[in-house]
Structure 1
Amino acid sequence: MMPFETPPLPPPAPPRSWLRRRVLDPLLDLLKAGLSPEKLALTVGLGVAFGLVPTFGITTIVSAAVALRLRLNQAAMQLVAHLMSLFQLALLIPFLRGGAIRAGR
């Protein structure tokens, strides 16, 4: 190698998956921002629970109120709750049918 020759560049990193970019990296960034693992677990657990409640439009209000009351990270709670909206839509019909069966219709 000559004294003025630059070393070869390393190969480019492989592209990150959608799940890693949209879900894992934001949660890891929140963890690095000073959120303890216990608080992060509570935030994710409550976000999943509130995200699956089959009442549209309430998710944001309820999760924000609980995050304020328990002093949890609101951004993480909203992220997880709104990521669950796909599951909420998928479970809407089974919940409605289960309620109709239970009511005796």
Structure 2
Amino acid sequence: MEGKDHADSGEAARKRGWWRRWLWDPVVGQLKQGISPDKLGWTIGAGITLGIFPVLGTRAWLCLLAGWWFKLNQPVLHSFKSLVYPLHVALIIPFIHLGQWLYGKEGVRLSFEFLRTQFAEDPWGFWQEFGWIILRAASAWLLVAPFVLVAVKFAVTPILRRVGLKEKPEKP
């Protein structure tokens, strides 16, 4: 009988869908465990904001450090960082252009595919050729990041409060 129950719970998990299984249920689980909607709102905002940081290969480390420093929930932080990966890729070139504009530098014609190929072929040469452009893109992100963080936090916190009222924290 236990095998059948396990199979039924696996089937139920598949029917819930990816969104619910990997994002909604963990968020609700954190509310049930007593994390405040405000803290969870900051965590989701930080995950999304750090998730659009325009330097490849750095987002997980940034989330790890920010989560540790600000005592944010790591699984939720990384889940939302991963959720915005397509946005991260889509915003790399706009951040490069914004960075170039902010520093009064000539615009560059780049594509994400070109940058990825250059990095894969010669990482050191890539940093020598594009390092300043990438630093300018990161500084452009620094200007945008506080607005994204606050906007996401204040957009999701009321939703989390309503969910939190329905979900009472579990008591040991």
| 1:2-30 deviation per Cα after TM superposition (whole angstroms, max 9, x unaligned) | xxxxxxxxxxx9x5454333322222222
Residue aligning to 1:103: 105
- Choose 1 or 2 for highest CA Rg: 1
Summarize deviations over 1:56-80 as a string: whole Å, max 9, x none: 1111111111111111111111111
Deviation at 1:100, TM superposition (A): 4.5
Alignment of 1:1-105 (within 5 A): 15-100=15-100, 102-105=104-107
Separation in 2, partners of 1:91, 1:58: 15
Q: Name the structure where helix makes up a greater proportion of residues.
A: 2
Unaligned runs of 5+ in 1: 1-12
Greater relative CO (CA pairs within 8 A, separation 6+) = 2
Figure out how many residues of one structure are paired with residues of the other and give that number. 92
Secondary structure at the aligned position of 2:72 is classed as coil
Unaligned runs of 5+ in 2: 1-11, 108-172
**Aligned residues with identical type, % of pairs:** 33
**TM-score (structure 1 length as normaliser):** 0.72
TM-score by length of 2: 0.47
Aligned-residue RMSD, C-alpha: 2.1
